[in-house]
Structure 1
Amino acid sequence: MQTEIYSGRSGRRVADTQQDAYHAMTVKELSAKQRMVLDAFEHGRPPMTREDIAAVTNLKLSSVCGRVRELLDAGRLAVVGSRKDLATQTSQQLLAVVPKAAA
Protein backbone atom coordinates (compact mmCIF):
# COMPACT_ATOMS: atom_id res chain seq x y z
CA MET A 1 0.00 0.00 0.00
CA GLN A 2 1.35 3.37 -1.02
CA THR A 3 1.29 6.29 1.41
CA GLU A 4 -0.88 9.19 0.35
CA ILE A 5 1.12 12.32 -0.37
CA TYR A 6 -0.36 15.81 -0.35
CA SER A 7 1.05 18.80 -2.17
CA GLY A 8 2.45 21.41 0.19
CA ARG A 9 1.31 24.19 -2.11
CA SER A 10 -2.21 23.20 -3.09
CA GLY A 11 -3.05 20.84 -0.23
CA ARG A 12 -4.46 18.36 -2.73
CA ARG A 13 -3.58 14.68 -2.77
CA VAL A 14 -0.92 13.85 -5.32
CA ALA A 15 -2.28 11.22 -7.68
CA ASP A 16 -0.69 7.77 -7.62
CA THR A 17 0.20 8.18 -11.28
CA GLN A 18 2.03 11.43 -10.50
CA GLN A 19 3.96 9.75 -7.70
CA ASP A 20 4.83 6.78 -9.90
CA ALA A 21 5.93 9.03 -12.75
CA TYR A 22 8.14 11.09 -10.48
CA HIS A 23 9.78 8.07 -8.85
CA ALA A 24 10.34 6.60 -12.32
CA MET A 25 12.44 9.64 -13.26
CA THR A 26 16.14 9.01 -13.33
CA VAL A 27 18.60 11.34 -11.68
CA LYS A 28 19.43 12.66 -15.16
CA GLU A 29 15.89 14.05 -15.45
CA LEU A 30 16.17 16.11 -12.26
CA SER A 31 17.54 19.63 -12.49
CA ALA A 32 21.20 20.05 -11.62
CA LYS A 33 20.43 21.80 -8.34
CA GLN A 34 17.80 19.22 -7.34
CA ARG A 35 20.42 16.54 -7.98
CA MET A 36 22.93 18.45 -5.82
CA VAL A 37 20.44 18.60 -2.94
CA LEU A 38 19.69 14.87 -3.17
CA ASP A 39 23.41 14.06 -3.46
CA ALA A 40 24.00 15.89 -0.17
CA PHE A 41 22.25 12.98 1.58
CA GLU A 42 24.59 10.31 0.18
CA HIS A 43 26.89 8.16 2.31
CA GLY A 44 24.37 7.64 5.12
CA ARG A 45 24.27 11.25 6.30
CA PRO A 46 21.70 11.87 9.04
CA PRO A 47 18.72 14.18 8.42
CA MET A 48 19.79 17.74 7.65
CA THR A 49 18.32 21.23 7.77
CA ARG A 50 18.22 23.51 4.76
CA GLU A 51 21.23 25.38 6.19
CA ASP A 52 23.15 22.10 6.50
CA ILE A 53 22.37 21.30 2.86
CA ALA A 54 23.53 24.77 1.78
CA ALA A 55 26.83 24.24 3.63
CA VAL A 56 27.40 20.80 2.09
CA THR A 57 26.49 21.84 -1.48
CA ASN A 58 27.90 25.40 -1.44
CA LEU A 59 24.57 26.65 -2.83
CA LYS A 60 22.89 29.81 -1.59
CA LEU A 61 20.29 29.16 1.11
CA SER A 62 17.58 30.73 -1.07
CA SER A 63 18.39 28.30 -3.88
CA VAL A 64 18.38 25.34 -1.49
CA CYS A 65 14.99 26.37 -0.07
CA GLY A 66 13.42 26.43 -3.54
CA ARG A 67 14.86 23.05 -4.54
CA VAL A 68 13.86 21.50 -1.21
CA ARG A 69 10.28 22.73 -1.71
CA GLU A 70 10.19 21.15 -5.17
CA LEU A 71 11.56 17.86 -3.83
CA LEU A 72 9.13 17.89 -0.88
CA ASP A 73 6.18 18.47 -3.24
CA ALA A 74 7.42 15.64 -5.46
CA GLY A 75 7.75 13.23 -2.56
CA ARG A 76 11.53 12.83 -2.91
CA LEU A 77 12.28 14.49 0.46
CA ALA A 78 10.34 14.35 3.71
CA VAL A 79 10.35 16.32 6.96
CA VAL A 80 11.40 13.81 9.63
CA GLY A 81 11.71 16.05 12.67
CA SER A 82 13.00 19.37 13.89
CA ARG A 83 15.78 20.85 15.96
CA LYS A 84 16.30 24.15 17.67
CA ASP A 85 18.89 26.55 16.26
CA LEU A 86 20.96 27.61 19.25
CA ALA A 87 21.83 30.99 17.74
CA THR A 88 18.32 32.10 16.77
CA GLN A 89 16.25 29.90 19.11
CA THR A 90 14.00 28.96 16.19
CA SER A 91 12.88 25.50 15.16
CA GLN A 92 14.38 24.12 11.95
CA GLN A 93 12.97 21.22 9.93
CA LEU A 94 15.11 18.11 9.54
CA LEU A 95 14.90 16.60 6.06
CA ALA A 96 15.65 13.13 4.73
CA VAL A 97 15.40 11.34 1.40
CA VAL A 98 12.25 9.26 0.95
CA PRO A 99 13.21 5.69 0.04
CA LYS A 100 11.71 4.44 -3.21
CA ALA A 101 8.80 2.05 -2.73
CA ALA A 102 9.61 -1.57 -3.47
CA ALA A 103 8.12 -2.59 -6.79
Structure 2
Amino acid sequence: MMKNNNKFDRHKQLCEELNEVYKAKNIAYGDSFGKTFQELGVISAVTRMYDKFNRIKALSTGAENKVMDESLKDTFKDMANYCLMTLIELEIQEQRGSEDVE
Protein backbone atom coordinates (compact mmCIF):
# COMPACT_ATOMS: atom_id res chain seq x y z
CA MET A 1 0.00 0.00 0.00
CA MET A 2 1.30 3.45 -0.92
CA LYS A 3 1.67 5.81 2.05
CA ASN A 4 0.64 9.48 1.85
CA ASN A 5 4.22 10.76 1.52
CA ASN A 6 4.75 8.38 -1.37
CA LYS A 7 1.46 9.54 -2.91
CA PHE A 8 2.58 13.17 -2.62
CA ASP A 9 5.85 12.29 -4.31
CA ARG A 10 4.06 10.34 -7.03
CA HIS A 11 1.65 13.24 -7.59
CA LYS A 12 4.62 15.55 -8.11
CA GLN A 13 6.19 13.09 -10.56
CA LEU A 14 2.95 12.78 -12.49
CA CYS A 15 2.60 16.56 -12.69
CA GLU A 16 6.13 16.74 -14.08
CA GLU A 17 5.25 14.05 -16.62
CA LEU A 18 2.08 15.92 -17.57
CA ASN A 19 4.14 19.05 -18.10
CA GLU A 20 6.55 17.23 -20.43
CA VAL A 21 3.66 15.76 -22.43
CA TYR A 22 2.01 19.20 -22.56
CA LYS A 23 5.19 20.85 -23.85
CA ALA A 24 5.74 18.22 -26.54
CA LYS A 25 2.15 18.23 -27.76
CA ASN A 26 1.85 22.00 -27.63
CA ILE A 27 4.91 22.32 -29.84
CA ALA A 28 3.64 19.59 -32.20
CA TYR A 29 0.13 21.02 -32.47
CA GLY A 30 1.03 24.71 -32.37
CA ASP A 31 -1.17 25.61 -29.35
CA SER A 32 -4.27 24.50 -31.23
CA PHE A 33 -6.09 24.03 -27.91
CA GLY A 34 -5.52 27.65 -26.91
CA LYS A 35 -6.47 28.96 -30.34
CA THR A 36 -9.65 26.89 -30.44
CA PHE A 37 -10.52 27.94 -26.90
CA GLN A 38 -10.12 31.61 -27.87
CA GLU A 39 -12.42 31.11 -30.86
CA LEU A 40 -15.09 28.84 -29.37
CA GLY A 41 -14.77 29.22 -25.61
CA VAL A 42 -15.03 26.64 -22.89
CA ILE A 43 -17.23 24.31 -24.94
CA SER A 44 -14.21 23.49 -27.08
CA ALA A 45 -12.41 22.23 -23.97
CA VAL A 46 -15.46 20.34 -22.75
CA THR A 47 -15.72 18.64 -26.15
CA ARG A 48 -12.14 17.39 -26.00
CA MET A 49 -12.56 16.21 -22.41
CA TYR A 50 -15.80 14.47 -23.36
CA ASP A 51 -13.98 12.63 -26.14
CA LYS A 52 -11.35 11.50 -23.61
CA PHE A 53 -14.08 10.52 -21.16
CA ASN A 54 -15.73 8.37 -23.83
CA ARG A 55 -12.38 6.69 -24.54
CA ILE A 56 -11.85 6.05 -20.82
CA LYS A 57 -15.34 4.61 -20.56
CA ALA A 58 -14.81 2.37 -23.58
CA LEU A 59 -11.42 1.09 -22.41
CA SER A 60 -12.74 0.56 -18.88
CA THR A 61 -15.64 -1.54 -20.09
CA GLY A 62 -13.62 -3.87 -22.26
CA ALA A 63 -13.44 -2.21 -25.65
CA GLU A 64 -10.52 -3.31 -27.76
CA ASN A 65 -7.70 -0.79 -27.70
CA LYS A 66 -6.95 -0.16 -31.37
CA VAL A 67 -4.77 2.87 -30.61
CA MET A 68 -1.62 1.24 -29.31
CA ASP A 69 0.10 4.43 -28.17
CA GLU A 70 -2.85 5.57 -26.03
CA SER A 71 -3.49 3.31 -23.07
CA LEU A 72 -6.04 3.92 -20.32
CA LYS A 73 -3.32 5.63 -18.27
CA ASP A 74 -2.32 7.80 -21.25
CA THR A 75 -5.94 8.82 -21.72
CA PHE A 76 -6.24 9.82 -18.06
CA LYS A 77 -3.07 11.89 -18.45
CA ASP A 78 -4.53 13.59 -21.53
CA MET A 79 -7.73 14.31 -19.60
CA ALA A 80 -5.72 15.81 -16.72
CA ASN A 81 -3.79 17.99 -19.16
CA TYR A 82 -7.01 19.17 -20.81
CA CYS A 83 -8.31 20.20 -17.38
CA LEU A 84 -5.11 22.11 -16.63
CA MET A 85 -5.04 23.69 -20.08
CA THR A 86 -8.64 24.83 -19.58
CA LEU A 87 -7.75 26.44 -16.26
CA ILE A 88 -4.90 28.29 -17.99
CA GLU A 89 -7.19 29.54 -20.76
CA LEU A 90 -9.80 30.65 -18.20
CA GLU A 91 -7.10 32.58 -16.35
CA ILE A 92 -6.03 34.21 -19.62
CA GLN A 93 -9.65 35.22 -20.25
CA GLU A 94 -9.91 36.68 -16.75
CA GLN A 95 -6.68 38.63 -17.24
CA ARG A 96 -7.91 40.00 -20.55
CA GLY A 97 -11.20 40.97 -18.93
CA SER A 98 -9.45 42.87 -16.15
CA GLU A 99 -7.20 44.62 -18.70
CA ASP A 100 -10.32 45.88 -20.51
CA VAL A 101 -11.57 47.44 -17.28
CA GLU A 102 -8.35 49.36 -16.60
Question: Structure 2 length as normaliser, TM-score?
Answer: 0.29
Larger Rg: 2
Question: Structure 1 length as normaliser, TM-score?
Answer: 0.29
More strand by share: 1
More helix by share: 2
